[in-house]
A and B are shown apart, each in its own frame.
Chain A
Amino acid sequence: MEAFTILAQEADKAAAAASSAGFAYGLAAIGPGIGIGYLVGKSVEAMARQPEAAGMVRTTMFLGIAFTEALALIGFVVFILIGL
């Protein structure tokens, strides 16, 4: 009986870890999603207005994406650490 309770608790813990991992990744994806969308949208606008500056805008855009995306990736790492 006691072993059974412990087993049930372990299963509960695993389920809680899995769902909280899902929440962690979902929450971590919101901000970077908005950020990258805004960033790329503005960059496309800039490139359309001034095509001769496209190369410079593109480089800066990739830099910005790299910094923004890092947050989502840290969320992904957290997801792996607590979920799997």
Chain B
Amino acid sequence: MFALEFPPINEILRWSDLFPSFNKIAIITVAAALIGSLIFLLAGNADGSKAPKGVRNFAEAIVEFIEGQIIMPTMGRDGLGWTPFLLSIFSFIYLCNVPGIIPVLQMPATARMAIPLFLSLLVWVVFIGVGFKHQGLGYLKNSLFPPGVPGPLYILVTPIEFISTFLVRPFSLTVRLFANMLAGHILLVTFALLTKELVQGGNIALVPVGILPFFMLVFLTAFEVLVAFLQAYIFTILAAVYIGGAAHPEH
């Protein structure tokens, strides 16, 4: 009775190219980058001597959020120089996530592996670079041979530290963002399909039942608003933790 024709994963995630190799995902990504830059350029050019209003007020609220909620608890005062980097990562990921619930677009650009992978490789390069800049070669010593471990245990500890610091970190950053957004997208697709199948399936008795998955769809859309923000926040705060950890060795 409920034989759903669930489309194959490629159909959920792919659109026909508008131009060769430029599809909807690419449009969302470019739009996210442009909108983010535009907001902060407008805010930067606004008159800063009076009380902020409009777009500048909005931008200042975001900057204060990054400084107060992300940098201060993880990196302390020394990390405030990282505000521009973390702010651009945060606003770009958020603007890539949010199209997942905007009608017509209906696709989070981060639900494809490429963008999370690129961003986490960027964070990976940055935190390793910061480690070498602040600690020199001591960074490798501090991260691979943590002090306070009895000698023979280094045979065990060093490979684990190497894998968890240099391999698992970029991988888990990528998978966390990508899988969260993909799971949300697939959930929305499932409930939309279920509603359509029940309402338009031809069986008049099932039409009232179709309201249940519809309410679930509305609820999940509201939930995705939260997830889009939360994933951008988590990605940014983990980037801040990794950079802060590389800048100051643990004692």
Contacts and interface: CB of A to CB of B under 8 A. Distances in A.
A65 B230 CA distance: 11
Contacts of A65: 234
Contact of A73 (B69, B73, B175, B230): B175
A56 interface: yes
Interface string B208-251: 00000000000000000000001001100110010000000000
Nearest to A56: B73
A70 interface: yes
Given A59-B73, A84-B8, A76 B237 contact: no
Interface SS of chain A: helix, strand, loop or mixed?
A: helix
Contacts of B9: 80, 84
A55 B74 CA distance: 12
A7 interface: no
Contacts of A84: 8-9
B69 A63 contact: no
Interface in B178-216: 178-180, 182-183
Interface SS of chain B: helix, strand, loop or mixed? helix
Given A62-B234, A84-B8, A69 B176 contact: yes
A63 B241 contact: yes
A51 to B, nearest CB: 17
A10 B74 CA distance: 52
Tell me which of A59, A65, A69 has the highest count of chain B C-beta atoms within 10 A of its own C-beta: A59
Contacts of B230: 62
Interface in A38-84: 55-56, 59-60, 62-63, 65-67, 69-70, 73-74, 76-77, 80, 84
A59 B175 contact: no
A70 B73 contact: no
A62 B233 contact: yes
Nearest to A77: B179
A70 B175 contact: yes
A74 B175 contact: yes
Nearest to A75: B179
Interface of B: 8-9, 69, 73-74, 172, 175-176, 178-180, 182-183, 230, 233-234, 237-238, 241
